[in-house]
Amino acid sequence: MNLSLGIIGLPNAGKSTLFNALTNQSIPAENFPFTTIDPNVGVVPIMDDRLQKIVQVEGSKKTVYSTVQFVDIAGLVKGASQGEGLGNQFLHHIREVDAIIHLLRSFTDSNVSHIDKTIDPNRDIQTVETELIIKDTDTIEKKLSSIKQKARTDPSQKNLEQFLTELLHHLNEGKKAISFSPKPNNELDLLKKDLFLLTDKPILYVVNESQERITKDYSDALRNNFGLNKESYLLSLDAKLEEDLSQLSQTDQNNMLSDLGLSERPLTKLIQFSQNILNLLTFFTANKNEAHSWHLQKGETVIKAAEIVHSDFAQNFIAADVIPYAEFIKAGGWNTAREKGKIRLEGRDYIVLHTDVINIRHNV
């Protein structure tokens, strides 16, 4: 699955620094607005200790991790929805990603200017989200105008007209499209998706702050300040520290984290949150040649899982051997699990569960 998250925010918020830390690449991160014009793209493997244990018990020769694509998008400025700065490019690139990492600057550094002269993440979040809402409003108004014309001669368009009118009202109240929940209706849900609204994408808020200032109380205060509910994803980290850590060996990373009193890199949690906001689960395949972790949307069937592994497997699907990860490890791999009767044989309608270990039977 080619899943992507776009890193957005105002200029000089630290987007390129965070991108470098995530992808271990070296791209410009200078004190100039719009250092990033064309988006930088990096594919990041999702390291998973469970896969390593599968490799050990199954004796697989090769390990392949699932990946997520991160996109470093040009900084947005006030008026972007009207084409200010690199507004049109910025908004176009957001439309192409599956979810958003909204990076907010909270750190102070006299050598790194702020486009609004002062540091205020609460103001910045309003600036960016207002521009996204304005652009979505423009999209809805154009679509609504077309639907109204059709509705004059086609009564079936009335439901769509009412839906778009209510959605436009929702946006005009300063609310994002993702929080608009009309009565369940598959046709209307598809219409909403087809509009590719910028504020209909899940968001992970990341606050860029110096490590010494980051505490649980600090993050909770930010959540309250931003007006985010408990279900919203928010993470505080030091992007420059993460970039520095990405250049070190694993041993040196561990030593540095220990000195800072951290049990793991906040970046690890960011990647985990990225999976969560995309509503993904992880499943595994393993044999003597290769062990592989995969992403799958929650609620999907084993046929979709087979398609992700190889399109021919889905077309020529027979059945699937399935065993939960914990039981697979406890049994010691496929052979012993079969001997102990721990493997289930599932058909094409089986809903894949998080951490299932699956063997696709096919006649390819």
pLDDT of 319 above 90 = yes
- Tokens 């041993």 correspond to 251
Using CA atoms in the order 306, 58, 364, 299, what is the torsion angle rounded to 10 degrees? -10
pLDDT (0 to 100) of residue 32: 37
Confidence of residue 82 (pLDDT cuts 50, 70, 90): low
Helix 121-151 to helix 87-95 angle (10° resolution) is 70
| Contacts of residue 58, Cβ cutoff 8 Å, sequence gap at least 6 | 286, 287, 288, 291, 333, 334
pLDDT in tens, 184-214: 666 777 778 888 899 999 999 999 999 888 8
CA–CA separation, 234 and 206 (whole Å): 6
- Which is more confident, 40 or 14? 14
Please give the domain boundaries of the chain with CATH numbers for all domains. Answer: 4-47+67-117+202-277 (3.40.50.300), 130-199 (1.10.150.300), 299-362 (3.10.20.30)
List the one residue out of 265, 234, 270 whose CA is nearest residue 121: 234
Confidence of residue 76 (pLDDT cuts 50, 70, 90): low
pLDDT (0 to 100) of residue 84: 47
β partners of residue 42: 70
CA–CA separation, 63 and 112 (whole Å): 41
CA–CA separation, 82 and 80 (whole Å): 5
pLDDT (0 to 100) of residue 349: 96
DSSP letters along 160-228, please? HHHHHHHHHHHHHTT--GGG---S--HHHHHHHHHTT-GGGS-EEEEEE--GGG--HHHHHHHHHHHT-
- Which is more confident, 41 or 341? 341
What percentage of the chain has pLDDT greater than the value 90? Answer: 44
Read off the tokens for 54: 């599968």
Residue 136 has a CB neighbour count (10 Å cut-off) of 24
What percentage of the chain has pLDDT greater than the value 70? Answer: 89
CA–CA separation, 305 and 161 (whole Å): 37
**Edge-to-edge strands, sheet with 317-324:** 62-64, 290-297, 280-286, 356-362, 317-324, 344-346
CA–CA separation, 187 and 184 (whole Å): 9
Average pLDDT, the chain: 86
pLDDT of 1 above 90 = no
Q: Quick check: 29 and 18 in contact, CB under 8 A?
A: no
Q: Quick check: 203 and 102 in contact, CB under 8 A?
A: yes
pLDDT in tens, 2-38: 678 899 988 888 888 998 888 875 444 344 343 444 5
CA–CA separation, 173 and 165 (whole Å): 13
- Which is more confident, 136 or 115? 136
List the one residue out of 233, 262, 212, 211 whose CA is nearest residue 222: 233
Q: Which residue type is seen at 363?
A: N
CA–CA separation, 17 and 241 (whole Å): 9
Confidence of residue 337 (pLDDT cuts 50, 70, 90): very high
Helix (H, G, I), strand (E, B) or coil at 328: helix
What pTM does this model have?
Answer: 0.82
Q: Which residue type is seen at 340?
A: K
pLDDT in tens, 263-295: 888 888 888 888 888 889 999 999 999 999 999
pLDDT in tens, 222-271: 888 888 887 788 999 999 999 999 888 889 999 999 998 888 888 888 88
pLDDT of 137 above 90 = yes
Segment (H or E) for 327 = helix 325-331
List the one residue out of 1, 74, 71, 20 whose CA is nearest residue 41: 71
- The residue length of the chain stands at 364
Residue range 327-349: mean pLDDT, rounded: 96
Helix (H, G, I), strand (E, B) or coil at 103: strand
